Amino acid sequence: MEFPSKLVEDAVNEVSKLPGIGKKTALRLVLHLLKRDEEQTESLANALVAVRSRTQYCRKCHNLSDNELCGICASNRRDASIICVVEDTRDVLAIENTAQFKGLYHVLGGIISPVEGVGPSDLQIDSLLQRLQGEDAGEVREIILALSPTMEGDTTAFYLQKKLRPFKLKISTIARGVPIGGDLEYADEVTLGRSILSRIAYE
């Protein structure tokens, strides 16, 4: 594509560096901004620079936070005896949306993936172990591993189980089974097989 304006070309190139956005979509977005008030572009640009330069990570759970301690870790209405280990902030949001969990989190910041060159030392695993030995020692009773049911997720969960064993805590993982509201015939074989093996007895 040969652009009529160097400024447009630069903007399209920058926008298309974002994941899932190609040159055509980037051009559509840039042309949209050109049609709107200049203030809209400025507040977009300011919000992006602000979030990148000023966002911190909670020193306890490593979730995104505006302060040293995130709102969840700082709250006295959360159950500090359960820690839910997740891959990233989006998982925290997803679990918070269910309103089914009242404990604390620990955000790994990724998942063990040899393909992408991510090893245990790139993740917040040591800080989890330190947390269990340090300020939260004795308080924590259970660790829930809420990682994606993929090969990378299972590898990370396996590694964590090994590291957590010495602490003699209850370690659990989120249930795998048929999704609620889904038709049984459309469930994949592995999930359906797993849901039979992990069947739950009526009480």
- How many other C-beta atoms lie within 10 A of the C-beta of residue 103? 18
Q: Which of 22, 74, 95, 96 is close enough to bind its own copies by CB under 8 A?
A: 96
Looking at the Cβ atoms of 37 and 185, the one nearer to its own copies is 37
Kindly state the DSSP code that residue 109 receives in the 8-state scheme: S
Any residues with CB less than 8 A from the CB of 172 and at least 6 apart, and which? Answer: 142, 143, 144, 145
Looking at the Cβ atoms of 6 and 162, the one nearer to its own copies is 6
> How many residues of this chain interact with its own copies, rule: CB under 8 A?
59
Angle of helix 151-164 versus helix 126-133 axis, rounded to 10: 30
Site string for its own copies, 49-88 (x = CB under 8 A): xxxxxxx--x----xxxx---xxx---------------x
Q: Is 11 in the site for its own copies (CB under 8 A)?
A: yes
SS3 track for 149-189: CCHHHHHHHHHHHHHHHHHCCEEEECCCCCCCCCCHHHCCH
Q: Which residues bind its own copies (CB under 8 A)?
A: 1-8, 10-11, 13-15, 17-21, 25, 27-34, 38, 40-55, 58, 63-66, 70-72, 88-90, 92-93, 96-97
